[in-house]
Structure 1
Amino acid sequence: MTQSCLILGYVPGGTPAKWARIWAQRHPGAPLQLQAVAAADAADAVRGGTVDLALLRLPADTSGLAVIPLYEEATVAVVPTEHLLSAADTITAADLADEPRLCPLDDVVAWDAALGTVIEHRPETTEAAMELVAAGLGVLIVPQSLARLHHRKDLTYRPIADAPGCAVALAFPEGPQSELVEEFIGVVRGRKPGSSRGRAEPAPKRTAREKMLAKQAARAAAGKVARKPGPAKRGRR
C-alpha cells in the first residue's frame, strides 16, 4: 500500500516550518502532518511508528534509529528582566556560580559541569520552571528556542559563552525507507527537486553518433538474419 502522507514529530522549540513549506510546494498530494512530541518521548515515537520521522534533541537514546545532525542551538540562562545578569549581553558559567538553579523534569541541556546550586524542588515542565524564574526563585538554563517559546515580558535570557550547545537532529528508523521518507530526508539535506540521489540512477542519454551507430548495427544484424543460408540441398543423382 502506497504511503499517502508523512508524519513528522518535533520537540518543543523545534522549527520544522521551513521544511514543511518546501514539502508542501513539492508534494501537494502527500500532506506533511506535524505532531508535537515531548523531548523524552521523541525517539520512542519514531521506534513505535507513531511518527515517521522526528526532530529531536541530542543526546538521546537513539538505538534502532538513523540520525542526521541538523544544527546546534545556543544555551542560555533565563532570568528576571531586573536581574543583575541581564546587564550583560553574554555571560559565562562562572557568572552562575552563586545563582540558585532550577532544573525541571523535562530538562534537555546536557551540561554536567553547570555551576550553581540546583534547587531541590524540580518543576514538572520547563514552562512551569519559567513561572518560578519570574518569581525570583532561580535561573533556568535552556536551549535558546525554548527561551523564545516561553517568552514573557518579565523574563529575559542571556547566552552562556562557554556552555555546550544543544544539538537538534532528524531521526528515523534504520533500514530501507519509504519513498516519502527518502524525499523528506532530501528536503532536509537541501537536495533540489528531481534529484536522483537515493533512487535508481536514470540511464544516460545517448549522443547522436551513438544512436546512428546503434541503428547501423541493428540494420547489419537484420541483414545477416535475412541472408542466413538454409540447410544444404542434396545434388541430383
Structure 2
Amino acid sequence: MHCEPEHSGGGKKYGWQLPASDPRPLHVVECGSALRAFSGENRERPLSDSYLVKACLQGDEEAWSALINKYKNLIFSIPIKYRFSQEDAADIFQAVCADLISELAKLRKPKALAGWLIQVTSHKCIQRKRQAERYDSQEQGFSEPAAAAHEIPENVFLQVQAEQILREAIQELSPRCRELVRMLFFEHPSRPYQQIAEQLGIATGSIGFIRGRCLEKLRRRLEKMGFE
C-alpha cells in the first residue's frame, strides 16, 4: 500500500486521491471508487472500522483503500486548520498514511482509530511548525524559540471529531439522500431546484418533502452517534 495521491501515479492502483483536488468543502467529499467497489454503492451502512482494520491486517489492498478514503478528509483537514499550505498539508497527509500502515497492527481498539488519527496528525502539524520556527530563528540569528506544549488545541480536536461524525452520518444515508444533501448544502453556488430534480430524476415539487425526510434521517443518525 503506497500513500500517494492518484494524480501522482502511485495511487491509481488503489483508486484514491488527496481530497485537495476536489473543489467541494473538505468535510463533504465522498469516499472514492475503491470504497464504493468494496462496500457496494447502495449499501445501507458503510463497513465498520473493525471490519476494515481486520481486512487490512490480513493484507486486503481494497480494505486499505477503503480505510484511507474514509479518513482522508479528516486527516487532510487538520493541517488546513493549522493554516498550512496545500503542499505542506499533502506532505503531512502522506506521513500520517505511512504511520497508519506501520502502526495499525498495534491499535487495540479499532473504534479509537479516528481519535488516534486526529492525535497523530495534530502532533505532526505541531512538529512541523516547530521545525519552521527553529529554521526561521536560525536564519535570522535569534535563539531558538521555547518548545510549545505538545498538546492539541481542544477546539481543533472537537471540530475535527464533529466533522468526521457528520461525514459518517451522511455516508449512512441512502444514495439519493446523500446526493440531495450534498447538492443542497455543500455546493457553492447552490443549484436551483430544477437542476437538482433533473439530476435526481424526481419532480421539482417533491424536493421539499424529500429534503425534510432526508434531514430527519440525518438528524436521527447524528443524535445516535452523539453529535451535538
Same fold, TM-score > 0.5, yes or no: no
**Aligning the two structures, in what range does the TM-score lie when normalised by the shorter sequence?**
under 0.3
More contact order relative to length (CA 8 Å, sep ≥ 6): 1
Report the TM-score when normalising by structure 2: 0.22
